[in-house]
Chain A
Amino acid sequence: MRVTQFSKYIPIQSSIQEIQSRKYLNELRLATGKQVVDITETPNLLVQKKRFENQISQQQQYKKNIEYSINFLQHTSETLGSIADNVQKIRDIAVSATQVGVAQDVSTLGKQIRYLLEDIVQNLNSDFDGQFVFSGNLLNTESITTPPGSTNKLPYEIIQETPTVENPSGLKVIFKGNTKKLVVNTSKISSEIINTTADELFGDETLSSLNKIIDLYNLLTYNKDGTPRGEKDLFNPDDLSKLNNYQKEIGKLYDKINAANSRNGALINRFEALKDQSASILTALEGYKSSVSDADYAATTIQLNKDQTALQFTLQVAARLTQTTLFDFLR
């Protein structure tokens, strides 16, 4: 083949450009630590990388949901524990009331029950991260509507009604929330209910079992005719029968709260397992992503050295192209 001045330069120029382009990409890979540095270089890797990124982003969100739920459930558990403790204390007071012989002591026990009930209501009004825990999906004061007699916008309240023979104190615990569920997604296809509702704890929204504590309070504080229990107003057999009955009812309430707390505890365990599972999935996904998107330093360095060597020799050849022609020897 006849070689001309132009034909010497064309392939050399092309080779230099090609090697420099390859070298640049490898330098970029080493500088950024990323394998995919150009959209057109390895589109399949780009697609895989993006898929993993999306899966990671979603998984991180589910992990966040799970972590929030665990905290919510733990708060619920602690609160339910406190409520159960107070109920147990009330139950203990009911038992001890059958054993006292002095009326003044009975009246004192009644006051203790009132304080414990107020503690229970305070616990029921507890919030986690600004949202009520036991009021269904009415999560803050803005969504609570106040019925007649109510003085605040909390979901549970001890209100004062007109005293009657049946309820000489006129006290009543009312519920202003609802029994709807709070649902959290734990994966693409599964979700969990994380709240404990009033009907689960007290049988219904009227809080009939909780109001048994008021009945107990009334029994300890008032006589049958509605007058305050005096020093000489001891329990008669009918009172004792009622006391035993209330004690049993409060025992049932205690069991219900404990059962709800057990369910809650089981849910915490499940969420803890989900959290571990989610962390494992995330680690695996990060690994997969790294395998397709991070630069292989060893391979890239070797390739870069090869390109460097190739470029060096090509440049040397290019430099020689302009060195000599026959004209240099014609003197």
Chain B
Amino acid sequence: MGVSPSLEIAKRALIAQRLGLDATSGNIANVNTPGYSRRAPTLSEGEPLPSRNGFVGNGVLVSKLRTFREEFFDRQIRRSLSHLNTLETDETFIQRLAVIFGEPAENSLNSIISDFLNSFEDLSYKPTDVSLRQRTVNLAQSLVARFKEIAGQLQDTRQQILNDINDNVNQANKLIKEIADLNFKIASNKSKLEGDNQTLFDQREAKIEELSKLIEINITQGDFGTVNVFSNGINLVTGSNYNQLKLKETIDPTTTERTLSLLKIDRNAKELATVNLQNGKIFSLIEHYNITFDPKDSSGKFSVATTLEQYFATLVNKVNFFSAIGYGLDDLTSPPPGRQIFTFSGTLSIATTNVNSEIVSDARKLPISGFPGENGDATIARQISALANDNTFLGGQTPDEFLTNFIGQIGNLGDQISSLYTVAKTANEQLLNQRESLIGVNLDEEAINLMKFQKAFEAASRVVTTTNDILSTLVNLGR
């Protein structure tokens, strides 16, 4: 056996230690890169060479650069992210509802309705006081204005949700394409060192996690390191092939209710299937668009906008029912003029309703008397004020009880979402931590690795130097 094997062994050692140094450098460089999975060279002893004195070691080999990623944690984190983003989006909109309704401020919708109904109590004992009548008319206008303001803000929010959904669907489509592209690159690079692919794996996992924030997805393994992406059974990515998502708005011909759904389309924009989401930001946004903020929701679920419309319509109908048979100060003969306090054009809704312009221009026309020519009669005023205690007003409750419970329902929903969010966030952090403890970079460890590979590299260099000295000695033997 000659001297040259030592040089070969030293060369391999230099390569191996250099690779170790490169991996360590990469780890240190990516210490703050989200989703980065640390790398470490897998070293193995070379096949020993036979010699007259037995088998002699053949140095070190780098079989691959290994990573520590585990599918179990990735899968759990994806699920957790979908759930977390659903709740995070829900929480945002509940907070927005609190702002829209001005809760828990003192001057809320309840107080405006109480003031309006109480003003009829004042009129019940001073029905001829035109300034009091004017005050009631002003309160009716304030009431309508407040409802319109709330309904307008709900509508604005709904419009904003639609924009958000469009943005997020575009983002999801971009991610779907990127995942398919990465699948293609991974499959193409399969023949190369697995370590090279690992960056692509990390990048793809980061994209998958981003996608799982938007829609709930399931991942299955494909050929050549590729993955297939499904959302509630609908295949979105298969290898390098992918389908895009499209938002579709349908309008009910009877109720004109606008409903959004998410569809899978092909490259020619042909609709292939409906993606029924159960989790993720887009799911939450669609739910809020279709239910929470939809003023014509027919799902039977808790819709803030629909409930508000129902409440308003009930109030208007009941007040109008009484006022239609009432007489104003100058209505001296039967039959009653049929002058309702609220008027609306077309279908009764918050947007179409206003205080009767006749009454606005002349408060004397406020129909609070039950008999013509009897200006001191306040039968109608008392009937309207009694609505405050009418426990059949809506849902077997008085107007205030209903509204209070309605606000309470929003609060309870928010409280429930907030609790679930806290739990989901904690669970997500635990999963991230567990995965981090496996794949994350520890700078102390890397410092040790750096020293370890540096020393080994120095030693291997020394072997080269020593071997070189020996060879020089041998070469100079004959001189």
Please list the residues of chain A having a beta carbon within 8 angstroms of any beta carbon in chain B: 1-7, 10-11, 14, 34, 36-44, 46-47, 49-51, 53-54, 57-58, 61-62, 64-65, 68-69, 72, 129-131, 135-140, 142-143, 145, 178, 180, 182-185, 188, 191, 194, 325-327, 330
Cβ distance B369 to chain A, nearest Cβ, rounded Å: 8
- In this complex, how many residues of chain B approach chain A with their Cβ under 8 Å: the count is 65
Contact in complex: A7, B436 (CB < 8 Å): yes
- CB contacts (< 8 Å) of A136 on chain B: these are 376
Nearest CB in chain B to that of A143: its residue: B375
B385 beta carbon closer than 8 Å to chain A: yes
Contact in complex: A10, B104 (CB < 8 Å): no
- CB contacts (< 8 Å) of A142 on chain B: these are 128, 329, 375
Please list the residues of chain B having a beta carbon within 8 angstroms of any beta carbon in chain A: 31-32, 94-95, 97-98, 101, 103-104, 106, 108, 110-111, 114-115, 118, 121-122, 124-129, 329, 373-378, 382, 385, 388-389, 400-401, 403-405, 407-408, 410-412, 414-415, 417-418, 425-426, 429, 432-433, 436-438, 440-444, 447-448, 451
Nearest CB in chain A to that of B370: its residue: A137
Using known A-B contacts A5-B443, A10-B432, A46-B411, determine if residue A54 contacts B95 with beta carbons closer than 8 Å: no
Contact in complex: A129, B126 (CB < 8 Å): yes
Contact in complex: B447, A40 (CB < 8 Å): no
Contact in complex: B377, A180 (CB < 8 Å): yes
- CB contacts (< 8 Å) of B425 on chain A: these are 14
Contact of A46 among B104, B122, B426, B438 (CB under 8 A): B104
- Given A50-B403, A53-B110, A143-B374, 8 more A-B residue pairs with CB atoms under 8 Å apart are A4-B440, A10-B429, A38-B98, A39-B104, A49-B104, A136-B376, A142-B329, A143-B376
- CB contacts (< 8 Å) of B32 on chain A: these are 5-6
How far apart are the CA atoms of A330 and B405 in the complex, in Å? Answer: 65
How far apart are the CA atoms of A214 and B110 in the complex, in Å? Answer: 58
- CB contacts (< 8 Å) of A57 on chain B: these are 111, 114-115, 118
How far apart are the CA atoms of A3 and B442 in the complex, in Å? Answer: 7
How far apart are the CA atoms of A65 and B124 in the complex, in Å? Answer: 9
Contact in complex: A139, B442 (CB < 8 Å): no
Contact in complex: A137, B447 (CB < 8 Å): no
Nearest CB in chain A to that of B399: its residue: A54
- CB contacts (< 8 Å) of A180 on chain B: these are 374, 376-377
Contact of A137 among B374, B405, B426 (CB under 8 A): B374
- CB contacts (< 8 Å) of B437 on chain A: these are 1-4, 7
Contact in complex: A330, B447 (CB < 8 Å): yes
How far apart are the CA atoms of A34 and B425 in the complex, in Å? Answer: 29
